[in-house]
Amino acid sequence: MSLSGGCQCGAVRFRVERTTRASICHCRMCQKASGGFFGPFADVEGLTWTRGQPKCFRSSNLVRRGFCETCGTPLTFEADGGAPSLSIGAFDDPSAIAPTLQMGEADKLPYADGLADLPGIPPGDQERATAHFARIVSHQHPDHDTDAWPPGA
């Protein structure tokens, strides 16, 4: 069973035969490159770029990181001489790829371990939040392959 994914705008799409190790990395470079609290990456086998190609930034002497040059979605972590690892959130079904390892813990943000305990939106604000989400018209590529994108292109 192969897994597909791609960037937010749909200019870059990929397919892999399988994922192997999935991890999060707390190192400062993964924080910066992902714009998040940690980098979430899956090692993969059988990677094919099915639309477009990521542009790469060489973030160190050992690693380059791929991203969509149109929308900026972080897509790869590529150690020299190894196969690219792919951003878990870029897969069409990231729920199928649970991380089993964390790395770079020396740089872990002091609040990272408490994220799961954050409160949700208070009941009094729920109506406003629901109205906000109802107004959204997504320009994001759907979570499946498409013959042409954007529609009508």
Question: Binding segment for Zn ion among 28-36, 65-73, 92-100, 132-140 (CB under 5 A)?
Answer: 65-73
Judged by CB under 5 A, does residue 33 bind Zn ion? no
Q: Which structure tokens are listed for 112?
A: 């990272």
Question: Binding segment for Zn ion among 16-24, 66-74, 88-96, 131-139 (CB under 5 A)?
Answer: 66-74
Judged by CB under 5 A, does residue 7 bind Zn ion? yes
Give the burial string for 108-131 (b: 16+ CB within 10 Å, else e): beeebeeeeeeeeeeeeeeeeeee
Q: Which structure tokens are listed for 19?
A: 């994922």
CA separation for the pair 89, 109 (Å, rounded): 20
Judged by CB under 5 A, does residue 89 bind Zn ion? no
Which of 4, 59, 70, 146 contacts Zn ion by CB under 5 A?
A: 70
Judged by CB under 5 A, does residue 90 bind Zn ion? no
**Nearest distance from C-beta of residue 92 to Zn ion, angstroms:** 14
CA quadruple 24, 26, 29, 31: dihedral, nearest 10:
90
Footprint of Zn ion (CB under 5 A): 7, 9, 11, 68, 70-71
